[in-house]
Structures are given as structure tokens and as C-alpha cells.
Structure 1
Amino acid sequence: MAPTTRAAPEAPSPLPSPAGWFWRSTLGKKVVMAVTGLVMLGFLVTHMLSNLKVFLGPEDINGYARWLRGMGEPVLHSHWGLWMARVALLASVVLHAVCAYQLSRRDLRARPVRYASRRARTSYATRTMRWGGVILGLFLVWHILDLTTGHAHPGGFQELHPYQNIIDTFSTWYGNLVYITAVCALGLHVRHGFWSAAQTLGVGSVARERALRFLANALALALTAGFVAVPVGVMTGVVS
């Protein structure tokens, strides 16, 4: 009788690292979304305020554009500070989008059957977060090609002259339509995203619920109004 050979025991699979476990977990992805969302919110507030400089005249906003190129000097070389900010922002956008997509796929797998009752569904802003994210992503590409690189600019793009570039863009009907539509989607996104980030990071509570909802609505309204004010200013001739 031939001797039986005993199969070698399988080696135990290595435990994932804390960083790997955090990234794979649903909670980890929600935290990444919350933190990157807050980074982007900080950028949006700064960007809105800088856009409003257009109402102070060309010297003010054009001077701000020149300052951005030299941000961090003399510690940093020219343009380095700007590119560091761009890389950080791009990383935040990519991480935010990847986590949103992966969480959306998990949600669909966990609940393949649609809600039977319309009342069981969440708010309008929540239901449109996915489409809002797609709209904002497409808008971001157009916005960069229009007012940053100039490849999609309707007029003669002028480097370091955002005042005239803004007038060129918002003197077209499609520039106003695309921009205002995207800004409205942004307002809904910020309203829901700020509230979700507060819950994920443990800031929310029953006692703070009313204050957080008020702050989320106020932020969304302020950003929407601030961004829309620029094309409206060009259309009405206040900025010319």
C-alpha cells in the first residue's frame, strides 16, 4: 500500500496593514470623502471671494492672479506654491471621486431592489449627489480649459488678465448657462456634503443638528450666490 502524503498546510493570509484596512473599509472611505470634501470646500470659499474681486476692477483681480504665481516667494520658487496647491486640490478631487464611486457601488450591491415607497427615499439633494458629482466633474474640465489654459476660451485668451477673460466667457449665452447650472449643482452638493461630513467626523449630534443644518444651508446659499454674482454682473453691465 502506497504511503499517503499529507498536504502541506496553507500559509495564513497576511493581515492587511492599518492603512489598507482603513482604505478598504466603508468607514475609511467615508472619512476620506469627508476630509477631502472639507479641503475642496475651503478652496471653493477662497475661489469665490477671489472671483468677487472682479467687481473692484481689473487691477485688483489681475493683481491677485499675479500674486498667485508668486505665492510662497521668496521661500519657494515662482509658481511652486501655486502648483503645490493645484496638486493637493487634484489629489482631493480624485480621492473624493474614487471613494464616492466605490461607496455607490457598495450601496447598489447591498440594496439591489429599489425602495417600494417614494417616502422611504432621501432628500432631493441626496438623490442627485451622484449626478451632481458628474456634472461638476465635467464642468471642472470645461472651466479649466476656458479660464486657466484658454483652450476653450471664446475670445482671445490673455494670460494674467482674468478680468477680460471673465467678460469674454460671460458675454456668451452658453458660458452663462453652463456656469450657472454647475453652480446650482454645486450648491446642492455642498449642502448635503457638509452635513454628511459632519456626521462622518463625529461633529454631528442631536443637540447640534439644527445648527449644522443651518450652517450647511447658509454655506450652500452663500457659495451659490457668490459664484452666480459674477456672470450676472457681466450680463447686467456692472462688470464691463
Structure 2
Amino acid sequence: MALATRTDKRPSMARTMWDSSVGKKTVMAVSGLVMLLYLVAHMIGNLKIFFGPADLNGYAHWLRTLGEPVLHYEWALWLVRIVLVVAVVAHAVCAYQLSRRDIKARPSKYVHQKKRASYATRTMRWGGVILGLFIVWHILDLTTGTVHPGGFEHLKPYQNIIDTFSTWYGNVVYIAAVLALGLHVRHGFWSAAQTLGAGSRSRDRALKTTANVLAAVLTLGFIAVPVGVMTGLVS
């Protein structure tokens, strides 16, 4: 009598990790840190606006020639964009799935009121939605020029930024999104550190201080640009 052969296969380690809550939190932590590195670089690039149009417009051109002659024109920039898209999608998908699991695990409200979490913690989900919508608007405004007020000029971010922040709604949308970003970074950096095992009693204070400093620097750095345009410092 022939022995029956087993046809079932065990799920791969990657699939097992992806299906677990710990795995999803790890993906969120890593993707969040990737986006944080980009934000720091993006903020530094934005601040070149205070050195005049030649500096900022020249920086925009340099980004497109980065890696030449090994890489073709804009290849490095597109590689960065692809990595960012993957990071944003992975971060958003994991956040949504973890949120759904949390809701299913607690279908009814607590009988006893739990200790209130920090404001940043309680607004992480809505903050993520706000930032997602802002990213779409920001790309359509300053990358493709689809919704840009006035005439969009390719490779002239200095003039395009002034156009955007010369409108009241451009300032309101941008500043509101940056404030949401600051809260998101403050809580997200702390959560990522805990997920990746960097947290401990001896390092908790340093990590919290780092999260607060990062959030403050990014918030002030990004807001400095529209404030500079509104006050006439940049014109």
C-alpha cells in the first residue's frame, strides 16, 4: 500500500512575519525611519530657499543629475521616489491592518475608563490620513504643477514655492500638515525605537528627548519656508 504524500506546505518565514502583529509593527518601524531620513534631507533642501533662487534651483537640477555618468538623468531621483512609495504604502497598509485587528479584538468599549494617552498617540491615525492627503496635494502642486496657482515653471522651485505660499489656502494646508507631521514623528519615532528593541529604562529618556527634538526641528524647519514668504523675507 503506497504511503500518502503530504502536499501541505508550511508558510514561509517572510509570510509568517507579515501575518503577525509584531511583523507588521516592524515593517511600520523600518518604513517610518526611511521616511524620516527623507524628511530630514527634504527639509535641508527646502531651507536653501533662504540663500536665493540660484541655490534652490541649482539644487533641484543637481538632484536630477545625481549619479551621472553612471546613472542617466533623473535615475537616482526616481530610485528615491520608488523607495519612498514602497515605504509609504507598506506603512499605510500595516497601520490599517493593525487598526482593524485592534478594533476586532476590542469590539466594545471598556467598562472602566483607561488612562488617557498623549495627544500625539490619540491622533496618530487621523494624523496619518491628513499626511496622506497632503502628500497627494503637495505632489500635484509642486512636482507636477497640476493644481499649482499661477504658471508652474519646471526646475524652478524657488518661484513655484513663492506662488504657493502667496495664497492663504496654500499656507493653511501646508502649516496644518506640518503640525500633524510633528506630532506623528514625535510619537512614531518613539514607537519605532520600542519595536526595534532600542528602548530600555536607561535609554528611554534619551529616546524621548530625541523624538521631541526631531519633531520640533522638522516642524520649525518646514514652517520656516511659508513664514519666510509671508513675511517678505523670501520674495
Specify whether residues 123 and 117 from structure 1 end up closer, same or farther in structure 2 by C-alpha distance, changes over 3 A only.
farther
Q: 1:143 aligns with which of 116, 138, 141?
A: 138
Q: Is 2:51 the counterpart of 1:56?
A: yes
| Matched residues, number | 233
Which residue does 1:179 correspond to in 2? Answer: 174
Residues 50, 61 of structure 1: 8 Å contact kept: yes
Question: Match of 2:223?
Answer: 228
Counterpart of 1:102 in structure 2 is 97
TM-score (norm 1): 0.94
CA distance in 2 between partners of 1:38 and 1:115 (Å): 33
One of 119, 122, 125 as aligned partner of 2:120? 125
Q: Which residue of 2 aligns with 1:239?
A: 234
Q: Compute the displacement of 1:121 (Å).
A: 3.2
1:58-97, CA deviations, whole angstroms, 9 ceiling, x for partnerless residues? 0000000000111111110111111011000100000000
Aligned to 1:217: 212
Amino acid at match of 1:188: L
In 2: Cα distance, 1:115 partner to 1:203 partner: 31
Given candidates 185, 193, 196, the residue that maps to 2:191 is 196
Gaps in structure 2 of 5+ consecutive residues:
none
Deviation at 1:120, TM superposition (A): 2.3
23, 31, 43: which is aligned to 1:28?
23
How much has 1:111 moved relative to structure 2?
Answer: 1.3
Range with greater deviation from structure 2 (221-230 or 10-19): 10-19
Pairing of 1:6-21 with structure 2 (within 5 A): 13-21=8-16
> Hey, what's the Cα distance between the residues in 2 that align with 1:179 and 1:38?
22
Alpha-carbon offset, residue 117 of structure 1: 4.7
Structure 1 segments of 4+ aligned residues over 6 angstroms from their partners:
none
Report the counterpart of residue 78 of structure 1 in structure 2.
Answer: 73
Given the two structures, how large is their TM-score scaled by the length of structure 2?
Answer: 0.96
Letter in 1 for 2:22: L
- Residue in structure 2 matching 1:67, options 62, 68, 77: 62
**Structure 1 vs Structure 2: percent identity of aligned residues?**
69
Counterparts of 2:113 and 2:168, CA distance in 1: 37
What letter matches 1:235 in structure 2? M
The CA deviation string for residues 25-60 of structure 1, in whole angstroms up to 9 with x for no partner, is 111100000000000000000000100000000000
Bigger-Rg structure (1/2): 1
Task: For residue 122 of structure 1, report the CA deviation from its aligned partner.
Answer: 1.8
The offset of 1:233, in angstroms, is: 0.2
Amino acid at match of 2:20: S
